[in-house]
């Protein structure tokens, strides 16, 4: 068993911390300061984004959603989206399966 208190981890902005990575899933904790953004992007995996602290605004597919602690969002592989912190935010990102189809680390 492995456990983490993600709210207590010393995570610096712009320095995501990979908590675990295996053949199925990657778990990443990150801090996004107020006003900063993960500009529109996509990943090869299903992405689950959980807000642990602060408030964020998500945009993608012509929609905008706002969420605080406990907010959970899911993105399909290759679904384009952006994340902006409206307050300092601590986030948990789960990617599965890891690495996804088409990820550069996968052998072709």
Q: With H, G, I as helix, E, B as strand and everything else as coil, classify residue 7.
A: helix
> What pLDDT is recorded for position 80?
93
Q: How confident is the model at residue 32 (pLDDT cuts 50, 70, 90)?
A: very high
Using CA atoms, how far apart are residues 4 and 47, in angstroms rounded to an integer?
Answer: 20
| Residues present in the chain in total | 108
Q: Which domains does the chain have, with CATH numbers?
A: 16-96 (2.60.120.10)
- pLDDT band for 23, please (50, 70, 90 cuts): confident
Residue 92 CA from chain centroid, whole number: 6
Provide the percentage of residues in the chain whose pLDDT is more than 70: 94
| Nearest alpha-carbon partner for 24 in 79, 99, 78 | 99
Q: Is the pTM of this model over 0.85?
A: yes
- Residue 4 predicted with pLDDT over 60: yes
- DSSP, collapsed to helix, strand or coil, labels residue 8 as helix
């Amino acid at each position: 068993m492995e456990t983490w208190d993600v709210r207590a981890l010393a995570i610096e902005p712009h320095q995501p911390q990979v908590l675990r990575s295996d053949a199925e899933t990657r778990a990443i904790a990150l801090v996004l300061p107020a006003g900063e953004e993960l500009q529109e992007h996509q990943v090869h995996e299903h992405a689950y984004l959980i807000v642990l602290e602060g408030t964020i605004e998500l945009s993608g597919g012509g929609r905008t959603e706002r969420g605080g602690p406990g907010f959970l969002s899911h993105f399909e592989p290759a679904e384009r989206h952006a994340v902006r912190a409206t307050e300092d935010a601590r986030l948990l990102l789960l990617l599965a399966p890891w690495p996804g189809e088409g990820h550069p680390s996968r052998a072709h």
